[in-house]
Chain A
Amino acid sequence: MSTNGIGVSCRGVRKHFGHGDARVEALRGVDFETRIGELSFLVGPSGCGKTTLISIVAGLLDPSAGEITVLGTRPADLSANERVLFRRRNLGFIFQQFNLLPALTAAENVAVPLIAAGIMRRRAVDRAKDLLSQLGLQHRLDALPVTLSGGQQQRVAIARALIHEPRLVVCDEPTAALDHASGEAVMDLLAANAVRPGRTVIVVTHDTRVFHYADSIAEMDDGRIVNVTRPSGSGSSATSEERHQLQEHYA
């Protein structure tokens, strides 16, 4: 399906939770677009709807209204099962709390998406070991997550998100649980390994220290996109001055 260079497109997306007096409007008509090959940041204060929006983009939540296209496919047109398969094939996830399976080794954790896709365990683990070695964790392949530092765990999570070559990578606060140095290292890794032609990377964050990695930054507030910064035009990176201004704003 043709994507015209658009990775994710949201038009008038609304989402509410609850009914009556308990009804909460999480998204109030979001228009949002990311380009393939870009590192797109979704920023904003806590509770502004960032997580709800990426959950909808990732097909984990259904919108109450609006149009969404992900990698040229409208999730609304897919059955529940097709959506699961679409997610398995095309999406990679990086979570704030890593969400590694504590009983599996680093390599086994990375291999999970491949195993879920039906690849034999030994082959999957071998591929996972190769990727982890590329990410500098060749000495911790058989370590359990509990024995890894926060930065190492996030590197494992990045490897897990990329092992099956997804076309969309969704990262939820990937540096929030890390100190500055580890956060920088993780973002370096993400920018170097995740961003590539044919892949869209969306990073939800309010960590101003890493804004300088973004190709585009969409600001959210109160359930809406209030500003999109694409400083140097289509497909290029923001200038350091503009990133600095955003950092100042959120700081």
Chain B
Amino acid sequence: MNFVALRMLTGDRAKYFGLVFAIAFCTFLLENQTTIFANILQRTASQILDVTDAEVWVMDPQTEYWEQTKALKDTDLTRVRGVPGVQWAVRLFKGNPIARTLDGKFAAAFLVGLDDATLAGAPRRMLLGSWERLREPDSVVLDQAGYILLFPNQPLVLDRTLEMNDHRVTIVGISDASPPFASLPVMHTRYSEAINFLGRERTQLSFVVARAAAGVTPHELAARIHERTGLRARTTPEFMWDCIRYYLRNTGIPVNFGITIAVALVVGAVVAGQTFYLFTIENLKQFGALKAMGVTNVRLIGMILLQAFTAGALGFAIGTGMAATFFEITLHLIQTRHIVLLWQCVALTAACIFFVVIVASVLSIRRVLVLEPAAVFRG
């Protein structure tokens, strides 16, 4: 009877497409909103994740997340290096200078100061130029979005000049740095240059980034550093989640997005569930005729489930395709760069759609099971 079930499902094209597109729309909404939410939150830790060389971040115990740091003492670097299991540990500076172009255009920026000797933490995805040129005096690598912001409608060209804190600096590379939560230009330079560009303070050291020696896990090393120095030490994933949790706790983002996602879920679930339920109700007479002809309840349940899962799977596939297309298009826009459809969001949406399909099926099955086959004799 599977073919009968599928033909019943696809027989009325308008209803069938309505049902499939309701589920596709629901899928698209859910995947779209959850993915944007997750990617925006991930942006709070973009600069942490961009430092691919380091495994452990050491910071002042008062530092909670990337954008708000309390400087360490310069001697803390030596203390961290003295902890057993540290393969290497270097300084990392983070500041927010104002960058100006010669045309007078300016913007607040993220300035990341890298260890002068090793350049550990330098951006690995370069669009133009080379991060090795950071060894030149007064040089910075600027990210593409920052370049477009500071030099709108101009081609990507190296060796342009910026001014920061009365210093003229040269753009020696254009990177594809991960976008930060706030849409600020991201610049990389050497540590010694960075503190000049921002202005000297008594203490400058934002972070110490370290790598574990062979045989020591980042987690073990972080625990050891904390134990020996009293500083806060987090592995890269831990620090990323610290940032995400900070924004979740202290901003309106989760509430606003939560409401949007909940609305998407409710609207999608109601539309998809009701459409399928109505589809079954409209076919009750046909199910009644089949019951009268001796089709068992078990077989009818199988038919309804087949219809539900066929429509659900097709709708989910189309919706996921729509979401993937959407993010493929927006991936190339500068404002929405690096926002990609996450498999976790796809899996979460699949679970939601499965739940909706199951609920709608159960309600539909109930109507069919309580249907009196004698009803087919009534007009």
Contact = CB atoms under 8 A, between A and B. Distances in A.
Contacts of B376: 93, 95, 99
A127 interface: no
Interface string A83-120: 01101110101011101011110001000110111000
Which of B1, B7, B293, B379: most chain A Cβ within 10 A?
Answer: B293
Interface in B1-30: 1, 3-4, 7-8, 10-12
Interface stretch (B49-57, B125-133, B143-151, B283-291): B283-291
Contacts of B299: 116
A52 B372 CA distance: 12
B8 A55 contact: no
A85 B294 contact: yes
A2 to B, nearest CB: 24
Nearest to B378: A51
B373 interface: yes
A103 B296 contact: no
A60 B379 contact: no
A92 to B, nearest CB: 8
A9 to B, nearest CB: 20
Given A61-B372, A95-B376, A99-B285, A104 B4 contact: yes
Contacts of B292: 58, 60, 87, 93
Given A88-B294, A89-B294, A112-B4, A99 B374 contact: no
A48 interface: no
Given A85-B294, A87-B294, A88-B294, A121 B289 contact: no
Give the interface size bracket for A toward B: 20 to 34
Contacts of A108: 4, 7
Nearest to A55: B374
Nearest to B7: A103
B343 interface: no
Interface in B190-237: none
Nearest to A105: B7
A136 B272 CA distance: 43
Contacts, number: 81
B289 A99 contact: yes
Contacts of B7: 101, 103-104, 108
A116 B288 CA distance: 14
Given A84-B296, A102-B11, A116 B290 contact: yes
A115 B5 CA distance: 12
A48 B378 CA distance: 14
A54 B292 CA distance: 12
A172 interface: yes
Give the interface size bracket for B toward A: 20 to 34
B4 A115 contact: yes
A97 B12 CA distance: 19
Nearest to B294: A88
Contacts of A88: 293-295
A116 B1 contact: yes
Contacts of B10: 103
A81 B297 CA distance: 9
Nearest to A160: B293
Nearest to B289: A99
A94 B323 CA distance: 49
Contacts of B372: 60-61
Contacts of A95: 289, 376-377
Contact of B379 (A52, A61, A96): A96
Contacts of A87: 292-294
A85 B296 CA distance: 8
A85 B291 CA distance: 11
Interface string A33-77: 000000000000000000110110010110000000000000000
A93 B285 CA distance: 14
Given A81-B296, A103-B8, A108-B4, 13 more contacts: A51-B374, A51-B378, A52-B374, A61-B372, A85-B294, A88-B295, A99-B288, A101-B7, A102-B11, A103-B12, A108-B7, A113-B293, A117-B294
Interface of A: 51-52, 54-55, 58, 60-61, 81, 84-85, 87-89, 91, 93, 95-97, 99, 101-104, 108, 112-113, 115-117, 121, 172
8 contacts: A58-B292, A60-B372, A60-B374, A89-B294, A101-B286, A104-B4, A108-B7, A113-B294
* CB-based closest 3 A-B pairs: A103-B11, A88-B294, A55-B374
